[in-house]
Amino acid sequence: MSVPTPHIEAKFEEIADTVIMPGDPLRAEFIAKNFLEDAVCFNNVRGMLGFTGYYKGKRVSTMGHGMGMPSVGIYTYELFNFYKVENIIRVGSAGGLREDIGLRDIVIAMGTCTNSNYVHQYSLPGSFAPIASYELLEKAMVTAKQKGIEVKVGNILTSDIFYDEFSLQKEWLKMGVLAVEMEAAALYMNAARAGKKALCICTVSDLPFTGESCSAEERQTTFTQMIELALEMA
């Protein structure tokens, strides 16, 4: 398939090698307006905003990917395979599961469990373990240390279920899972299949076991430490 694609209207040269991807397209717009210089909008198909600009002289893009594995699967597949993007860093929100994780803590997904059947498409003779790019993970850790940003690193859960009727998150917690979100596993699988690099960095926006949460506006505009970490390593 050539570009533009059915979901991204950009020309080939309009997207940088590294794309910072929040789920919310309005967070992508927030990143472009508040962190990038000379930002130009390259996509508004279905309202999934994308921008390319410069951060401290480095050319970088930011674009929303929507909610859930099917949505992030489509956008990251097209970026990796049709726009030849090399690195995708997800900057999202997650629900903290472990007791030592609080609101606004930053979690980096070294690996991700999932209850999704997304991996079925690859017809593998066993289970696949979606993991981050070690190069990006190492760069994130070095950058976080240099900037004095505290992060927690480990396994997360990528779930197809937002409203968990049976509270199965407690079973994942028993296996040491730090947090739950809805996209990282598909991102990591797409990156593995394309031979590209991916990393998921999340800010904890809610605590399912206590009911504490950030507002929608706070999720959209105040998770700046995570965004700065991603941009610094872009």
What residues contact 135, with CB distance under 8 A and at least 6 apart? 197
Residue 49 token pair? 């905003």
CA distance 200 to 169: 19
For residue 4, cis peptide bond before it (omega within 30 degrees of 0): yes
Residues 105, 96: contact at Cβ < 8 Å?
A: yes
How close are the terminal C-alpha atoms of the chain, in Å?
27
Residue 143 CA to its chain's centroid (Å): 17
Q: Which of 100, 105, 164, 206 is catalytic?
A: 206
100 catalytic? Reply is no
Catalytic residues: 206
